[in-house]
Structure 1
C-alpha cells in the first residue's frame, strides 16, 4: 500500500518547491562557538519548545525527544523524492558518527499532519532506519514546531485533495539537549560530509 502511494505521488509531480528560510542573528545573541564548522551559524532565534505525537500515539515534548544531539528534519512521508533521500542521508551520517563513538538521534517531523498519522510516520521512519524518531501532531502542534525552527511549508491541496504535494524547506538542524540549536545543513551534503560537519560541532561544543 505504501509503495503504491509513493509511486502514484511520484507520477503526479516531483516534491514541491524547496522554500528558502533566512535567519537573523539578533543583537545580544551568544557568540558562535561553532564558527570553524561547516553549516549555518548558531542563532538565538531558532529552535525551542515543541509538543508533538510520536509513532506510538504518545504526546512528547522537545525535552522527551532531544535527549542527545539530534538531527531534525521537517518533511512529509508522501514526498516522492526529496524527503526520503534526505532522511536516508541523515541516517547514513548518524551511522557513521556511531562508528566513531558519537551518539546522534535522527528526527523526522512531518509538515503534513492531515495524512501523516502516527502509524504512517512510524512506518516511514522504520523503513529508512530504526534509529529515526518520527513525529506528527495536530495542525496546530506541527505549525508551532515549524515556526520554532523557522521552516517553511505549504500544502497544495487544491491541486489534488488526495495526492497533493507540499512545498517545504529542506534544511537539517542540529540541536543539542543542553544548549539547543547549534547549526543547520543543506541537502547537498553527502552522508560522510554531514557526519564530518556534525562531528566538528560536537567536538567544539
Structure 2
C-alpha cells in the first residue's frame, strides 16, 4: 500500500469519525433526560387570574374557557393605543358577524388606581358590547399581567400626574386557555381578521 492510498484511507476514516460525532451531538441535544421537561414549542402564556367585571362579579380564567379569547391589556386614560385597539376590535367583531359571538373579547386594565368597575363600564360602552372589561387590585392585576407575560409600568409625568406604559399586542388564546398567537398594534386589518377567523375555526 503506497503513501497516497494510506493518506486517502486516513482521510476517509477521519470523515467517518466526524460524521459519527456530529450525529451524536445533534441527536444528544434532542434527548430529554429523566425529570427534564420536554418542550412543546408553545409559549407559556396565560394562567390563573382573579379579576372583577364591570358588574362587580368575580371573573377567573375558568370563565373564559369553552370559547377562544382575544385579550388586550390597557387603561382608560390611554391617549392612543387603547382606544385605537378597541375600535379595531369593534370593527373586526362587526366583520366577523355571528362568528364574533364565538369569541371572548377581553379588556384588562393595568391601572387599578383609576380604573374601577364603574370607570371600566363607562369606558367600554363606546365599543362593541361583546367586549368584557376587567379590573382588580394592584396585586390581582400584577398576577394577571405576569401570567400573560404582559409588560406594564407606571410612568410619572411632569405635572405630577402619571400614565401607563404597557404591551400593545392583543393576545389570542384558544378555548382551552392555551396561547394561540398575537395581533400587533395597527397590524393590517385583513391580517387581523384572518387571524380571528382562524382562531374561531381552530381554537
Q: What is the TM-score with the length of structure 1 in the denominator?
A: 0.74
> Any stretches of 5+ residues in structure 1 without a counterpart?
1-26, 32-41
Residue 128 of structure 1 and its aligned partner are, at CA, apart by 1.1
Of structures 1 and 2, the one scoring higher in RCO (CA 8 A, sep 6+) is 1
Deviations 1:114-159 (A, max 9, x none): 0001011111112112111000000000000000111111112464
2:178 paired with 1:186: no
> Any stretches of 5+ residues in structure 2 without a counterpart?
1-36
- Structure with greater helix share of residues: 2
Number of the residue aligned with 2:45:
46
Deviations 1:78-125 (A, max 9, x none): 001110001111122222223457622210000000000101111111
2:96 paired with 1:86: no
* Paired residue secondary structure (2:102): coil
Q: d(CA) in 2 for partners of 1:172 and 1:161?
A: 30
* Residue from 150, 167, 172 that aligns with 1:174: 172
* Paired residue secondary structure (2:119): helix
* Paired residue secondary structure (1:90): helix
- Calculate the aligned-residue CA RMSD, in Å: 2.0
* Contact 2:69 2:104 survives alignment (8 Å): yes
* Contact 1:97 1:103 survives alignment (8 Å): no
Decide whether aligned partners of structure 1 residues 28 and 161 sit closer, same or farther in structure 2, where only a CA change above 3 A counts: farther
* Paired residue secondary structure (2:67): coil
Q: d(CA) in 2 for partners of 1:99 and 1:137?
A: 30
Number of the residue aligned with 1:29:
39
Q: How many residues align?
A: 167
* Paired residue secondary structure (2:133): strand
Q: What is the TM-score with the length of structure 2 in the denominator?
A: 0.74
Residue 193 of structure 1 and its aligned partner are, at CA, apart by 2.4
Q: d(CA) in 1 for partners of 2:96 and 2:64?
A: 19
| Mapping for residues 15-26 of structure 1, pairs under 5 Å | none
2:146 paired with 1:147: yes
* Contact 1:75 1:108 survives alignment (8 Å): yes
* Contact 1:72 1:173 survives alignment (8 Å): yes
Number of the residue aligned with 2:4:
none
Residue 192 of structure 1 and its aligned partner are, at CA, apart by 3.4
